[in-house]
Amino acid sequence: MKNVIKSYADYKLHREIGKLIKSYSENRSDIRDVVERALEWESTKKILDLGCGYGWFEETLKGTFDLVYGIDCHGENEAAFVGVSSRVAQEVVFKSMYLPCSITMPPDSFDLIVSAYTLYFFPEIIPEVKRLLHPGGTFVVITHSEKMLEEGEKYFEFNNLKKVIQRFSAENGEEILKKTFREVIAIDYYNSLVFKKGAGDDLARYIDFKREFIAKDVDPDVVRKKMLDELQIKGVVRFNKNDRIFIGKK
């Protein structure tokens, strides 16, 4: 698992791949904008971001907050996270630690806690999330569908990778959260990544970014070659990028 998580240490690459994903997405709306429209921001003053990376979630935030607190296992992300979050927060805190773990903050410390594409790494943190949220506070989770692998599964078996995603996925997230939160809302974000002829270099970069995930099951170089061959033969390669947003209320 640590090798998989290590792939997020290069924040510059992570940011570049985020832009690449956006440019090849059929759904032109930003999923962060979908989250923003779904939440009530007036009473949100203190935010905790679990697995915050370089500040992907904070990148599009509007308004001013008292505190944005980020936790990530990669200390390399600190400068980028602080730089992004300082734009919208009076105080920014970054802690480098592996989740799940106890977080040294008192109960009811945060109005909003976020886990964007990370909760499948540490779903055991959910009780701690509830402790840290004030009554009426919100837990937002953005996660993948288990079907994100369906195109690759025509050629390869990704049993280990699927086990990671199934720890908290679009399909089972609501059931998991309802054990802890009084109200859970699910919002679907339908999308596909579409690579056409001439986009081979970007397709290769996308697959290489996922190589630590893929390597648990298949040689990433074999996967990259197969997908590039498919692009040449068929003229288009599509990947399921359907995600789901969960909003849990304490």
Per-residue pLDDT of the chain (250 residues; tens, 9 = 90+): 555 566 666 788 889 999 999 999 999 999 999 999 999 999 999 999 999 999 999 999 999 999 999 999 999 999 999 999 999 999 999 999 999 999 999 999 999 999 999 999 999 999 999 999 999 999 999 999 999 989 889 999 999 989 999 999 999 999 999 999 999 999 999 999 999 999 999 999 999 998 888 888 999 999 999 999 999 999 999 999 999 999 999 9
Residue 44 lies in a domain: yes
Residue 201 lies in a domain: no
CA distances from 198 to 201, 202, 205 (A): 8, 9, 13
SS3 assignment, position 114 = strand
Q: At a CB cut-off of 8 Å and minimum separation 6, what does 196 contact? A: 231, 235, 236
Q: At a CB cut-off of 8 Å and minimum separation 6, what does 54 contact? A: 11, 14, 15, 77, 80, 81, 84
What's the domain count of the chain? 1
| Residue corresponding to tokens 């078996």 | 157
Instruction: CATH number of the domain at 13, please.
Output: 3.40.50.150
Residue 104 lies in a domain: yes
Confidence (pTM): 0.94
User: Residue 15: which domain range?
Assistant: 2-146+158-192+242-249
Q: In what order do the strands lie in the sheet with 183-189?
A: 89-96, 65-72, 46-50, 110-116, 133-144, 243-249, 183-189
Residue 97 lies in a domain: yes
Residue 179 lies in a domain: yes
Residue 21 lies in a domain: yes
Query: Contact at 8 Å (CB) between 74 and 12?
Result: no
